[in-house]
Copies of this chain bind each other. A is one copy, B any other.
């Protein structure tokens, strides 16, 4: 069973859940109302999101409020950062090439 952030956000319903609770913590029932699927299916998604620590639970009586764990979301951002760095350095290389060409022109 693969269970990491990237596998978690692969499912469109889970991305929907993430976006929904990003605004405010919600209970499974309230979340399920926003999707065209059963409460149990949402519950399973929440379990997956919990397992990879993308969401946190907060019990209040018999209700459980799920909220987004921003720290874990930043993991995705960090992964993207790598590429930004690669692209930046590539642009710098391009700059150098252009600079060399300019020099040769002189």
Contacts and interface: CB of A to CB of B under 8 A. Distances in A.
Contacts of A80: 73, 76-77, 80
Contacts of A73: 80, 83
How many identical subunits does the complex contain?
Answer: 2
Secondary structure dominating the interface of A: helix
Give the size category of A's interface with B.
Answer: 20 to 34
Interface of A: 2, 4, 6-7, 9-10, 12, 15, 19, 22-23, 68, 70, 73, 76-77, 79-80, 82-83, 86-87
10 contacts: A4-B12, A6-B6, A7-B10, A9-B10, A10-B10, A22-B83, A68-B83, A70-B83, A76-B76, A80-B80
